[in-house]
């Protein structure tokens, strides 16, 4: 194998390129990215960078000289538009092609947008550095920010906006924030956290209409309420970027379908990060994870697999979110859990466990680092549910 192309110049892509060199691959490595910037980190975009601004040097995943030192050729501002797996070429949007012997797909996910109508005002999203800069520009003290969707990104933006002195309302279709991801008990804890910090969260409600009003908007909710907003942001989830693979033979179903070692249906092609759906033997299910640590670890594993050292990727998923003084860490899987137990719950601390098939599967720890380590080990070792908790209650019940 002489030429490896990595499509997607972000977290998974950079770690794939780095691991190729660490494993002694001395052929050509080309990193192709639709974005104009060198790969940068996304988590600060809704936190420190949105609050205080952050220079590109601090956001960049690697210094500019790293690419030269590691002989990684970058093709920035070039989206891959088609993959020809028979000829082993990637067609870019400027009409040029990149030939490869091995390929890593690391095109991540994109923020979902609300369907827009003619008189619709701009509804912002937050995925890229440009989005973050644009939003930061618009977050002025005393203004009213409306967030559509109380997922992680929406809640982080809410916390940042409160610190910047805005009034914040969140409209959420579910019964509680984060309900789908973490269940009603933990969602209720986050609702209370935001209420204490002055955020109004309107649950079991949708936005029926948004109309432009000057620079801002008038929103009509499904409960009949009508109010004005200076800034509207949608945080309604993300979708894997796979349309450029249509017709290539690489199997996709809500992401690139991978084997447990992250190889795909096409020889010489592996996938990593937000875009990859793979069979995780630890949980005995196919999953796709949109978290930072997963993208780092999978980028590295996809590189190993291409170089012929494939092994099952069975890491325990890990995610963090910082909102006000709450440092939430999550390990494992919650969405497929059938039981949840709240072990501890106070204003500044929360520990909740998730179980399925008589095993601990996940844990949420807010400001509880020791518990996080303990339960992460328990999940990896597939400890029995009864050994970590004695009083299970049905999730969302």
Q: Which residue ranges make up the site for ligand FAD (CB under 6 A)? A: 7-13, 32-35, 42-43, 45-46, 79-80, 106-109, 126-127, 153, 241, 244, 273-274, 290-292, 295, 319-321
- How, if at all, do strands 349-356 and 269-271 pair? unpaired
Give the chain's end-to-end CA distance (angstroms, integer).
Answer: 54
Report the nearest approach of ligand FAD to the CB of residue 214 (Å): 27
Report the nearest approach of ligand FAD to the CB of residue 388 (Å): 24
- CA atoms of 114 and 98, how far apart (whole Å): 34
Q: Which of 294, 302, 259, 312 shows the shortest CA–CA distance to 11?
A: 294
Report the nearest approach of ligand FAD to the CB of residue 375 (Å): 17
- Nearer CB in complex with ligand FAD: 157/199: 157
Report the nearest approach of ligand FAD to the CB of residue 104 (Å): 10
Report the nearest approach of ligand FAD to the CB of residue 7 (Å): 5
DSSP 41: -
- Nearer CB in complex with ligand FAD: 30/389: 30
Give the tokens for residue 228. Answer: 């004005």
- Nearer CB in complex with ligand FAD: 169/242: 242
- Nearer CB in complex with ligand FAD: 320/324: 320
- CA atoms of 81 and 66, how far apart (whole Å): 27
- Nearer CB in complex with ligand FAD: 278/319: 319
Torsion angle in degrees (nearest 10) through CA of 87, 91, 95, 98: -70
Other Cβ atoms closer than 10 A to 53: 10
- Nearer CB in complex with ligand FAD: 317/355: 317
Contact between 184 and 175 (Cβ < 8 Å): yes
Report the nearest approach of ligand FAD to the CB of residue 29 (Å): 15
Give the tokens for residue 324. Answer: 């006000």
């Amino acid at each position: 194998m002489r030429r490896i192309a990595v499509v997607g110049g972000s977290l998974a892509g950079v770690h794939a390129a780095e691991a190729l060199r660490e494993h002694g691959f001395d052929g050509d490595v080309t990193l192709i990215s639709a974005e104009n910037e060198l790969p940068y980190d996304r988590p600060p975009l809704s936190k420190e960078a949105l609050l205080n601004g952050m220079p590109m040097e601090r956001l960049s995943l690697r210094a500019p000289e790293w690419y030269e030192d590691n002989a990684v050729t970058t093709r920035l501002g070039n989206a891959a538009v088609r993959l020809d797996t028979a000829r082993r070429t990637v067609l870019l949007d400027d009409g040029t092609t990149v030939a490869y012997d091995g390929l890593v797909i690391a095109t991540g996910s994109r923020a979902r947008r609300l369907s827009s109508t003619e008189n619709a005002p701009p509804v912002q999203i937050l995925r890229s550095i440009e989005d973050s800069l644009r939003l930061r520009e618009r977050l002025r003290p005393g203004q009213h920010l409306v967030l559509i969707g109380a997922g992680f990104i929406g809640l982080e933006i809410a916390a940042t906006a409160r610190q910047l002195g805005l009034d914040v309302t969140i409209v959420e279709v579910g019964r509680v924030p984060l309900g789908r991801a973490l269940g009603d008990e933990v969602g209720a804890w986050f609702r209370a956290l935001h209420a204490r910090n002055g955020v109004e969260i309107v649950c079991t409600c949708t936005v029926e209409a948004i109309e432009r009003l000057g620079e801002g908007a008038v929103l009509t909710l499904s409960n009949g309420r009508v109010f004005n907003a200076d800034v509207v942001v949608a945080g309604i989830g993300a979708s894997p970027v796979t349309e450029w693979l249509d017709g290539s033979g690489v199997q996709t179903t809500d992401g690139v379908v991978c084997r447990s070692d992250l190889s795909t249906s096409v020889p010489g092609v592996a996938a990593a990060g937000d875009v990859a759906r793979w069979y995780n033997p630890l949980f005995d299910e196919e999953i796709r994870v949109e978290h930072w640590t997963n993208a780092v670890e999978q980028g590295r594993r996809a590189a190993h697999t291409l170089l012929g050292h494939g092994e099952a990727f069975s890491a325990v998923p890990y995610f963090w979110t910082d909102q006000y003084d709450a440092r939430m860490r999550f390990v494992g899987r919650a969405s497929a859990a059938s039981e949840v137990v709240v072990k501890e719950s106070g204003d500044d601390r929360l520990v909740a466990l998730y179980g399925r098939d008589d095993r601990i599967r996940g844990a949420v720890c807010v400001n509880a680092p020791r518990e996080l380590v303990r339960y992460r080990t328990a999940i990896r070792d597939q400890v029995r549910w009864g050994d970590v908790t004695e009083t299970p209650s049905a999730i969302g019940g």
